[in-house]
Amino acid sequence: MIIKIDFESEIPIYEQLGRQIIEGIAKGELKKGEQLPSVRQLAEDIGINLHTVNKVYNILKNEGFLTIDRRKGAMVNNLMPEVTEEFMDFIVRELKFIIHNSYCRGMGREEFLNICKSIYDELENK
């Protein structure tokens, strides 16, 4: 899996990295049980601070995507996190913004839903 950080983006580096790891898991580029690079190695490979990588690994551990072992490092969790009420609230907040933004730009419902369907289809047909 290739990680690309946009240093000019308004999205914080730690958030870009976390999103890409989750995307890698969803797409099957990172397998359950797979060991991730060490904090130091990943930071060096993509040119960011090791504390940023450590922060991301800990956030993803707390969310249930990773397990961290002192001897083995960070690994993709064998059991993915479940949909919780807190997660549903998060999804609704994020989708509201994305839908409102799309609506203001003139995107129609069908076009929006087709994009969502296309992304899901891509994951289900990997």
Residue 3 lies in a domain: no
Whether residues 68 and 17 fall in one domain: yes
3-state secondary structure of 5: coil
pLDDT at site 117: 97
Q: How far is CA 72 from CA 14, 33, 52, 78, 125, in A?
A: 22, 11, 19, 15, 32
Helical H segments across 47-108, by residue range: 50-63, 85-104
Residue 69 lies in a domain: yes
Residue 6 lies in a domain: no
Whether residues 65 and 90 fall in one domain: no
pLDDT at site 31: 96
Domain end marker among 37, 57, 76: 76
pLDDT at site 2: 86
Low-confidence spans in the chain with pLDDT less than 50? none
Residue 102 lies in a domain: yes
pLDDT at site 54: 96
Residue 28 lies in a domain: yes
pLDDT at site 61: 97
Q: How many domains would you assign to the chain?
A: 2
Return the closest-CA partner of residue 77 out of 126, 121, 119, 21: 21
Rounded Cα distance, 22 and 76, in Å: 10
Whether residues 27 and 56 fall in one domain: yes
pLDDT at site 55: 98
pLDDT at site 112: 97
Whether residues 55 and 21 fall in one domain: yes
CATH code of the domain containing 26: 1.10.10.10
Whether residues 28 and 62 fall in one domain: yes
pLDDT at site 1: 80
Domain that holds residue 114: 85-124
